[in-house]
């Protein structure tokens, strides 16, 4: 088993990763709130966790990955103010909350599929786990850290943490944590920082369930504690989410969970930085206009170019979404696709001995706090070396790297084989790819003419790749 080193927000250092029960790893990710399409910023978060999960698998671990889907209780303000996001969209569109949640969850899963994000082992919806949430709230009440009022059951964060102590993740006092929020709050709260576990007496809310305290619905934070405990146990190895979750959502998850179990909730908290627009603004749904995966093909980009764009940056670095950066990612994607498509029919099935150093370096980069840009450079070097030496023993090695890159290179290869060209054309195509790579454009032009004279159309793409197609007569 290789050793991953990963930045743990709990200690604010890069730590050696040691799961509780190797070779098993329990991984929990805060998932989408399904009331609008997930924008490219959200998708960056899920890609980061896909890189993490695949790295762990590359290292030989067995990962049990649970992700929640929020389909009730997430209010427009994270601190218990505003409307339920799902119900707000449902009212605006004249649909039921269930229809809204189903529609946006389906869209999200389709986007994840297009990005080759491995589906979680368990995708768990909040509305399917109301019983588990109620049980957990009962445990918290029994431990003395929650109180029941007319408007809801609240977590007594001040009593739990002490008014001046620092949050374990945020390293801020409660006043500092909430300084950016308007603390409009119910007069029933003992303290404005207390957060709701179960909302009561809101007859206009559509989704309601019976509970020991009356009909109502859960607050946003409790679902993650309840579902991670159900599927992964009371202490989990890794918990992920965007950095926006550090000060409130994840602090609250820790408080709720540990007050009930008296055990450490999470061993490694791992957070991704944002995808931002050109102006440096976080891409967010509240901004009104945000880029979607579905917009990319019209702009000339393959969805997997976005995957590669994210792979090309460290998960802890903010990245700027721009056309230029996407063009660069598309060029790299075409470079790998072309290699997979144009492999000679007799490419070796065993990886060449010389490729071992590349596979090792690739793993080392990933295990170094998920250094995906360095890993990507290693994969490119492997292909470049293969072209230089005309040794296609790189292909089986590249397929190993693709287990983490996630570009479906094997599929491209197979698709090219099934629409295979006659051997003479294939030989010309391969020679042309090699001379173009070597920037011998005069010879590339001669070969183009030769291929065309044999009845094939040749299209050179701006990014250096080329397409060949039999001319219809
Ligand atoms: P939400 O559906 O808004 O709860 O967000 C789902 C996930 O996306 C959370 O883990 C967020 O932290 C993350 N996220 C939201 N906006 C961005 C962004 N611009 N860049 C990266 N991650 C984001
Ligand atoms: Zn969560």
Kindly report the CATH number assigned to the domain that includes residue 121: 3.40.50.620
Asked if residue 264 belongs to a domain, the reply is yes
Q: Is the beta carbon of 247 within 6 A of some atom in ligand 1?
A: no
At 438 the pLDDT is 79
Looking at the fold, whether 42 and 141 belong to one and the same domain comes out as: yes
Q: Is the beta carbon of 318 within 6 A of some atom in ligand 1?
A: no
At 112 the pLDDT is 97
Looking at the fold, whether 269 and 375 belong to one and the same domain comes out as: no
Looking at the fold, whether 255 and 330 belong to one and the same domain comes out as: no
At 467 the pLDDT is 76
Looking at the fold, whether 204 and 160 belong to one and the same domain comes out as: yes
CA dihedral for 150, 173, 165, 235, sign (positive or negative): positive
Which residue's CA lies nearest to atom 14 of ligand 1?
A: 42
Looking at the fold, whether 32 and 127 belong to one and the same domain comes out as: yes
Looking at the fold, whether 251 and 304 belong to one and the same domain comes out as: no
Asked if residue 351 belongs to a domain, the reply is yes
Asked if residue 67 belongs to a domain, the reply is yes
The minimum-distance atom of ligand 1 relative to the CA of 245 is 12
Asked if residue 262 belongs to a domain, the reply is yes
Q: How far apart are CA 409 and CA 258, in angstroms?
A: 44
Which structural domain, as residue segments, surrounds residue 76?
5-282
At 281 the pLDDT is 82
Looking at the fold, whether 56 and 163 belong to one and the same domain comes out as: yes
Q: How far apart are CA 18 and CA 267, in angstroms?
A: 9
The DSSP call for residue 33 is B
Looking at the fold, whether 277 and 376 belong to one and the same domain comes out as: no
Q: How far apart are CA 223 and CA 217, in angstroms?
A: 11
Helix or strand or coil: residue 398?
helix
The DSSP call for residue 118 is P
Residues ≥6 apart with Cβ < 8 Å to 340: 395, 398, 409, 410, 412, 413, 416
Final residue before a domain boundary, out of 420, 439, 461: 420
Final residue before a domain boundary, out of 282, 306, 332: 282
Q: Which of 36, 58, 55, 37 is nearest to 47 (CA)?
A: 55
Torsion of CA 443, 447, 449, 454, to 10 degrees: 170
Q: Is the peptide bond before 415 cis (omega within 30 degrees of 0)?
A: no
Looking at the fold, whether 258 and 305 belong to one and the same domain comes out as: no
Ligand 2 center from residue 93 Cα (angstroms): 27
Task: Using alpha carbons only, give the angle 393, 396, 401 rounded to the nearest 5 degrees.
Answer: 125
> What are the phi and psi torsion angles at 156 (to 5°)?
-90, 80
At 180 the pLDDT is 59
Alpha helices in 292-371 (DSSP H): 303-311, 323-341, 356-367
Q: How far apart are CA 284 and CA 39, in angstroms?
A: 8
Looking at the fold, whether 336 and 218 belong to one and the same domain comes out as: no
Q: Structural domain tally of the chain? A: 2
Ligand 2 center from residue 33 Cα (angstroms): 10
Q: Is the beta carbon of 30 within 6 A of some atom in ligand 1?
A: yes
Ligand 1 center from residue 42 Cα (angstroms): 4
Looking at the fold, whether 267 and 372 belong to one and the same domain comes out as: no
Ligand 1 center from residue 49 Cα (angstroms): 12
CATH code at position 316:
1.20.120.640
Asked if residue 444 belongs to a domain, the reply is no
Asked if residue 431 belongs to a domain, the reply is no
Q: Is the beta carbon of 41 within 6 A of some atom in ligand 1?
A: yes
Q: Which of 422, 423, 400 is nearest to 410 (CA)?
A: 400
Q: How far apart are CA 287 and CA 22, in angstroms?
A: 43
Q: Is 128 exposed, middle or buried (0-12, 13-18, 19+ CB in 10 A)?
A: exposed
HSE toward the beta carbon, residue 342, CA cutoff 13 A: 25
First to last CA, the chain: 57
Asked if residue 392 lies in contact with residue 28, where contact means CB atoms within 8 angstroms, the answer is no
Q: How far apart are CA 62 and CA 17, in angstroms?
A: 14
Asked if residue 442 belongs to a domain, the reply is no
Q: Which of 267, 184, 260, 271 is nearest to 225 (CA)?
A: 260
CA dihedral for 44, 372, 24, 257, sign (positive or negative): negative
Final residue before a domain boundary, out of 282, 312, 341: 282
Which residue's CA lies nearest to atom 2 of ligand 1?
A: 32
Ligand nearest to the CA of 219: 2
Asked if residue 458 belongs to a domain, the reply is no
Mean pLDDT per 10-residue segment, the chain (473 residues) = 93 98 98 94 98 98 97 75 85 92 96 97 97 98 97 94 86 80 72 92 93 96 98 98 95 97 98 91 77 92 97 97 95 95 84 95 98 98 94 95 97 77 82 83 93 88 72 67
At 81 the pLDDT is 65
Looking at the fold, whether 159 and 181 belong to one and the same domain comes out as: yes
């Amino acid at each position: 088993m290789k050793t991953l080193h990963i930045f743990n927000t709990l200690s604010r250092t890069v730590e050696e990763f040691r799961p509780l029960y190797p070779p098993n790893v329990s991984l929990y990710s805060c998932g989408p709130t399904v009331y609008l399409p997930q924008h490219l910023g959200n998708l960056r978060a899920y890609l980061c966790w896909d890189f993490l999960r695949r790295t762990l698998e590359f290292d030989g671990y067995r990962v049990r990955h649970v992700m929640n889907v929020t389909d009730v209780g997430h209010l427009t303000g994270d601190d218990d103010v505003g409307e339920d996001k799902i119900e707000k969209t449902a009212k605006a569109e004249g649909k039921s909350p269930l229809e809204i949640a189903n529609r946006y969850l389906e869209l999200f899963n389709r986007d994840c599929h297009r990005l080759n994000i491995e589906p979680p082992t368990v995708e768990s919806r909040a509305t399917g786990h109301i019983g588990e949430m109620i049980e957990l709230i009962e445990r918290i009440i029994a431990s003395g850290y929650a109180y029941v009022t007319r408007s809801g059951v609240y977590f007594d964060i001040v009593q739990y943490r002490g008014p001046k102590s620092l949050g374990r993740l945020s390293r801020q006092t409660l006043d500092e944590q909430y300084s950016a929020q308007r603390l409009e709050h119910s007069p029933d709260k003992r303290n404005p920082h207390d957060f709701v576990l179960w909302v009561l007496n809101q007859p206009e809310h559509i989704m309601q369930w019976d509970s020991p305290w009356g009909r109502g619905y859960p607050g946003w934070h409790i679902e993650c504690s309840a579902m991670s405990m159900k599927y992964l146990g009371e202490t989990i190895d890794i918990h992920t989410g965007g950095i926006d979750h550090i000060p409130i959502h994840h602090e609250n998850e820790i408080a709720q969970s540990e007050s009930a179990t008296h055990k450490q909730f999470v061993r490694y908290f791992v957070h991704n930085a944002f995808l931002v627009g050109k102006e440096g603004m976080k891409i967010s749904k509240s901004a009104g206009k945000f880029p979607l995966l579905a917009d990319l093909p019209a702009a000339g980009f393959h969805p997997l170019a976005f995957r590669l764009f994210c792979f090309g940056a460290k998960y802890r670095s903010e990245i700027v979404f721009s056309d230029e950066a996407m063009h660069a990612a598309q060029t790299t994607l075409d470079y790998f696709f072309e290699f997979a498509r144009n492999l000679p029919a007799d490419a070796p099935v065993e990886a060449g001995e010389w490729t071992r150093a590349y596979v090792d370096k690739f793993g080392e980069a990933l295990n170094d706090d998920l250094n995906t840009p360095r890993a990507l450079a290693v994969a490119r070097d492997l292909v470049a070396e293969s072209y230089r030496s005309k040794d296609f023993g790189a292909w089986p090695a590249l397929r190993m790297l693709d287990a983490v890159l996630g570009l479906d290179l094997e599929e491209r290869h197979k698709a090219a084989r099934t629409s295979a060209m006659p051997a003479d054309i294939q030989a010309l195509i391969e020679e042309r790819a090699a001379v173009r790579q070597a920037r011998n454009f005069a010879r590339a032009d001669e070969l183009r003419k030769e291929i065309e004279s044999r009845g094939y159309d040749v299209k050179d793409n701006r990014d250096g790749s080329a397409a060949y197609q039999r001319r219809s007569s």
